[in-house]
Chain A
Amino acid sequence: MAVGNMTKQVQHHPSYLRVFLTFARNSLVRDMTFRSNFVIEMISSMSWMFMNLGFYILIFSYVDSIGAHTGWGRYQFFVFFATTALTNSLVQSFFMPNAEEFSELIRTGNLDFALLKPIDTQFLVSLHKVHWSGLGNTGFAIGLLAYSLYQLIAGEGLQLTAVQFLLYPLYVGCGVLVLYSLMIGLAASSVWLGRNQSLYNFWFYITNFSRYPMEIFDGPPGYARRWVGRSLRGFFAFVIPVLLAVNIPARMLAKPLDQNNWPLAAFALLATAASLWVSRRIFYWALKSYRSASS
């Protein structure tokens, strides 16, 4: 009877939402145990954002826009920067600590315990910790976004419709998933490499390309910068689509009239699905090669 019950329980699909909420609550309890540490972490990551904002304010004290005729004026660019901050804060709160731990789980062999649990391993490994203090930056991003949009609407007569406000969170979500896919794919590769400190830096360096408007990857005719820039743009939009992660949602709000928006937006959905699929394939491929460690 007891065995029958157990089989029944194991076959029963876990409620992913409830499991996630438990993870989130546990992480919050842990964070609140060291409250001053939590506050310090939040302040320090927010000061990083303020310093970056300071850098862009400094640039805009010398110029009116990032590139001539690109449409990225001061507040348009701040919408872009807020979107970068938003996307990155979500990735850092939900996925970054887990991906870091994943490489460590592989190296130490503790991944065995995750494999034994009756739940999707990628879900368990990707979400079991929530880094709540990272959400301070989310607040910063939303504040900056609201302020910049207000400036654009009041000062420059920007008109936004409900559709844009609905699509914006959707595309921010897509951006987060694209960045997540890249991260978990790189973390999974530590199965083959043992340690992958350089790969981590690699993630940061690649996503560095996502932090700027795609128009900047260009150059004057006849210069090498032109074809290098356009190749980079093509590569990071269509091969490793990190360039779409921030550009698409930011353009939705800051440059709603741009002709290129809709084809790119349609492609971004496809790219997100493809990234997730590829990263999941890499993840399970890596699990197949995993051979635990020691006893």
Chain B
Amino acid sequence: MAIDFLYPQYEVVRNYDRCIACRACERQCANEVHFYDPEFQKMMADESKCVACHRCVSLCPTRALKIVKTDHTFKANANWTGKAISEVYRQAGTGGVLLSSMGNPEPYPIYWDKMLINASQVTNPSIDPLREPMETRTFLGKKPGKVERDRDGRLVPNLSPQLELNVPVMFSAMSYGSISYNAHASLARAACALGTYYNTGEGGLHQDFYQYGPHTIVQVASGRFGVHKEYLEAGAAIEIKMGQGAKPGIGGHLPGHKVGPDISRTRMIPEGTDAISPAPHHDIYSIEDLRQLVFSLKEATAYKKPVMVKIAAVHNVAAIASGVARSGADIICIDGYRGGTGAAPTRIRDNVGIPIELALAAVDQRLRDEGIRDQVSVVVGGSIRNSADLLKAIALGADACYIATAALLALGCHLCRSCQTGKCNWGIATQRPELVKRLNPEIGAQRLINLVTAWDHELKEMMGGMGINSIEALRGNRLMLRGIGLTQKELDILGIKHAGE
């Protein structure tokens, strides 16, 4: 119907003086935007299909293409924005739930950008990381809080299982299914080379990737896809996924058309069937049930691996985290509302949950108030965009950070937020073989290594400037942060002073 017509959000601008009609754009676009018109002997575009992923722009040999936001507009209205109006038309036309991908893009405050970092001078020298050791190695896991000695008085190593990270960054959970085989291969190889970990997500572990087990965190989510004894034993740690920042309170849905032979085998479900993760774990309706699952997994792996519990940052996250810390979990992972997803209902993604900065500050303080901060490590994600975010997160109290969106960007993702269509032109969020092969895992791994190495350099540079030469002395060191343009309430929650104080 005419009222359902929506003018495309993006326009393809082609410079015909440059276009040589090589048809590369046409071959590259899985959305079938570009086509050759033999009659006029020129390239044309159906911009209604364009998702602004820039694949064509990046590969056009003559730089003839660009994508621009359309200036077509509804009559200006601060309340009924073009987006709000369009969404009503779409729902009136289909009766469906709006779907989105990747993290919440709405203009909520970004607290990372409202915190400033300290530097030393005069009373305390800054340290040059090029000349002095600068340490970013981190261990995750419960600390003993007491010492034991043998009969000769020697210390008995009484630590619970730990994860050792050469850099305080890990790759966050993304399932095989939501992302491609080659994307997983890139993450796994990079994690090994960097001395850190990647996370299988809830889709099980492909047989080919068992070799990366010592740098793999295997996830157990509400759908229990691909979970079996060898899977649990393959990883360095086990993560129970209770929630996800992009869609707190709901489960997941991998449509049947993505469940090909490989994914079917890995997930242990029939080919072509939808893989639906329930909203809750149906064996966890309360905290005591979580404790049972934590210890079931520990029993299954002979108490040799740390168990992580991932929760979404929601309003009472501090109380939840305290409960999780007392449930036997070794590591708590908190996912903020900017965290990414392969698909989520738009309303949930954009309206549920709270910023990771506030959640982290509240959780860290709560665990300290209860005297149990040392019994659990805290890992945060959703979203850490650069090394400054990373440093600020650690100074607020995180032991390490999870990155996923940034990792996908390193692999070529252009944040077009159309993962749910399965037509990712960059070979990441797709299972179509001709698209998957566009991502070379060798190159992908190297780009991830480059990214994390660069962040590590920057982290060391900033730490040195602060006169801190070891990451553990930065953790929870909130005096190193100052707020800018924040209310007293926000400062109180973050536990920091305002700039100038």
Q: Do A and B bind each other?
A: no
Chain A interfacial positions (CB closer than 8 Å to B):
none
Chain B interfacial positions (CB closer than 8 Å to A):
none
